[in-house]
């Protein structure tokens, strides 16, 4: 029989308090629960190990006995561990009380801790290791697995589930849907307009199944909005740089901007400098709480020099530059 270090199994220190132990167990149990990992035998084994470790060290009486064994076993190992370790002195006495009759986790306890179906993923009364059974009792002992208790169970809500979902900025503008699979269930989830990175979309009753006729848990979609190639988001507002050519910046004109709501025309005044900003009201993103209300689009001009310019055009520009230089010198004198 192999020794099991339950502290290592839960990832806590030997002096961890009850709250830390419970939190560590909840994290592992949620991660490896069979309802979340259907058909995954490796996850089932890890779930079972975490449950066994929690059973052993969450109850003060069991923990006291386990700590004594652990210390004795470590001392035996430090002396070289010769021969076979004597497990006899640690065996539980089912009929005599002692360490084998401590706290047990009922199905109600399991559901109370983190929701779900109230099942230990198919791990019943005799699903523990020989090590655990030797210390705390075998089949039929109150310390073994889920306690029998009353057949009357209270109605409880099912376990809440969370799923990470990434959407584009266009989908944020229009709203979208996603096919979400949780366990063996697949649903079409509606993602509303205006969601932001960090938004949580709640789908009521779409989480784990209810217990004893209770309502289903909730499914939460954790939203991340991916960056856009042109637009930068600022709350419900959008910012974009609009490249215009050298001549339009000087002479003025009109420029088209393709927004999520369609194409809009922007009037460029004469002698517009690079960096000049324009505000297009209501051309931003919809507000999550009030989808009929839209943010603004802020446009910043970016002057782009022509790539292909003729010799004649260059001579004309040189002539203009010489003329402006003469005028400036004349004004100075």
Could you tell me the residue ranges of all domains in the chain? Answer: 6-136, 161-225, 232-316
- Choose among 216, 220, 209, 116: nearest CA to 162: 220
User: What would the mean pLDDT of 170-175 be, rounded to a whole number?
Assistant: 96
Domains 6-136 and 232-316 share a fold: no
Burial class, 322, CB count within 10 angstroms (exposed 0-12 / middle 13-18 / buried 19+): exposed
In tens, the pLDDT along 107-139 reads: 455 555 544 444 444 444 446 788 888 888 753
What contacts 240, CB < 8 A, 6 or more positions away?
A: 230, 231, 232, 257, 297, 298, 299, 300
212 vs 197, residue with greater confidence: 197
With 0-12 / 13-18 / 19 or more C-beta atoms within 10 angstroms meaning exposed / middle / buried, residue 238 is buried
Asked if the model's pLDDT at residue 40 lies above 50, the reply is yes
Nearest to 146 by CA among 131, 170, 127, 171: 127
174: how many CB neighbours lie within 10 A of its CB? 12
Instruction: Classify domain 232-316 by CATH number.
Output: 2.60.260.20
Tell me the per-residue pLDDT of 71-117, one tens digit each, with 9 for 90 and over.
998 988 888 877 788 888 888 764 444 444 444 454 455 555 544 44
Prediction pTM value? 0.52
Question: In the CATH hierarchy, which fold is given to the domain comprising 6-136?
Answer: Helix Hairpins (1.10.287)
Which superfamily is assigned to 161-225 in CATH?
Urease metallochaperone UreE, N-terminal domain (2.60.260.20)
């Amino acid at each position: 029989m192999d020794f099991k270090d339950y502290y290592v199994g839960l990832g806590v220190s030997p002096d961890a308090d009850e709250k830390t132990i419970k939190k560590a167990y909840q994290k592992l149990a949620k991660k490896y629960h069979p309802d979340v990992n259907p058909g995954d035998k490796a996850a089932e084994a890890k779930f079972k190990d975490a449950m066994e470790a929690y059973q052993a060290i969450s109850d003060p009486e069991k923990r006291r006995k386990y700590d004594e064994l652990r210390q004795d076993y470590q001392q035996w190992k430090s002396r070289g561990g010769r021969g076979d370790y004597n497990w006899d002195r640690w065996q539980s006495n089912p009929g005599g009380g002692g360490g084998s009759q401590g706290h047990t986790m009922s199905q109600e306890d399991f559901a109370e801790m983190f929701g779900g179906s109230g099942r230990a993923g198919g791990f019943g009364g005799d699903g523990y290791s020989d090590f655990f059974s030797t210390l705390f009792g075998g089949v039929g002992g109150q310390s073994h697995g889920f306690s029998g208790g009353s057949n009357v169970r209270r109605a409880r809500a099912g376990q809440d589930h969370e799923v990470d979902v990434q959407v584009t900025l266009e989908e944020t503008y229009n709203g979208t849907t996603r096919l979400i699979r949780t366990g063996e269930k697949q649903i079409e989830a509606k993602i509303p307009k205006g969601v932001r990175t960090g938004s949580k979309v709640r789908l009521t009753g779409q989480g784990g199944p209810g217990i004893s006729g209770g309502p289903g848990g909730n499914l939460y979609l954790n939203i991340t909005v991916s960056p856009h190639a042109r637009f930068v988001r600022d709350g419900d507002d959008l910012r974009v740089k609009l490249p215009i050519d050298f001549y339009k910046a000087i002479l003025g004109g009109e420029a088209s901007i393709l927004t999520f709501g369609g194409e809009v025309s922007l009037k460029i005044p004469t002698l517009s400098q690079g960096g000049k900003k324009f505000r297009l009201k209501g051309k931003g993103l919809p507000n999550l709480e009030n989808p009929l209300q839209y943010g603004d689009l802020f446009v910043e001009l970016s002057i782009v020099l022509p790539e292909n310019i003729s010799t004649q055009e260059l001579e004309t520009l040189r002539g203009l530059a010489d003329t402006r230089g003469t005028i400036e010198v004349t004004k100075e004198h």
